[in-house]
Amino acid sequence: MIDLSVAEVADALGARITGNAASDPAQVFPCVSIDSRTIRKGECFVAFEGKRLNGHDFVEDALRKGASTVILSQDTARPADWEDRLFLEVNDTEAALQTLAHYVRQRWGKPLIAISGSLGKTTTREFTATLLERQFKVVQSPGNLNNEVGVPLSLLRISAEHEMAILELGMSHPGEIRALTRICAPDSAILTNVASVHAEFFADLDEIASAKGEILEGG
């Protein structure tokens, strides 16, 4: 991730700082993870509340594995006996993840290409990245991280050395592409195609096309 101070991140998120870094808000904010199973020492654990699991149930696990920082809901009790760590308390951890990702994108400020379509998104992204890597230092979405959580995590992989980013945007409902586009603010967009995918959420192909066209609304 690009270099940001703890104070800068807290201000962007409207977060309350407690714990270790409350006295040193100028220190550099660490890389971010939402998975307590794979988090590395020194990283920031975001207690993301998913459909099946609540990240707040795994804060202690993340701390034991060496997480230096935790972003958690202000409605959740902060773990005791971890005063050497940093805690950022926010209203909503998913919104905080998305806000931080958008802030990183804006601060980085270099060209970003967003790719969507009913089919062929990943192949198009990988092909585009292969071409551009001949000339630029490129960062792209890892795997198919293309939803409301995956896109922010992809943005948070951007570092100062990267000259261009290529992100994949997926959807299953109207409005999703619009929301993702607002987070990543692309300079250019590629729409591969429109097909009858996730048809249970749309009346017809025209509605799918309209939802895909939301990619043109951001930036």
Closest CA to 96 of 143, 173, 53, 32: 32
Q: What would the pLDDT profile of 103-128 be if each residue is shown by its tens digit?
A: 999 999 999 999 998 889 999 999 99
Euclidean distance between CA atoms 194 and 164, whole angstroms? 26
pLDDT above 90: percentage of residues in the chain: 70
* 203 vs 92, more confident: 92
The set of residues, in sequence order, having a beta carbon less than 8 Å from that of 206 and lying 6+ positions away, is none
Q: Residue 73's pLDDT is what? A: 95
Give the mean model confidence (pLDDT) for residues 193-200. 74
**DSSP label at 49?**
B
Euclidean distance between CA atoms 154 and 152, whole angstroms? 5
Q: What would the pLDDT profile of 46-66 be if each residue is shown by its tens digit?
A: 999 988 899 999 999 999 999
Question: Which band of pLDDT confidence, cut at 50, 70 and 90, is reported for residue 173?
Answer: confident
Closest CA to 23 of 81, 86, 90: 86
For the chain, which domains are there?
Answer: 6-98 (3.40.1390.10), 109-216 (3.40.1190.10)
Task: Assess whether pLDDT exceeds 60 at residue 21.
Answer: no
Give the mean model confidence (pLDDT) for residues 7-33. 86
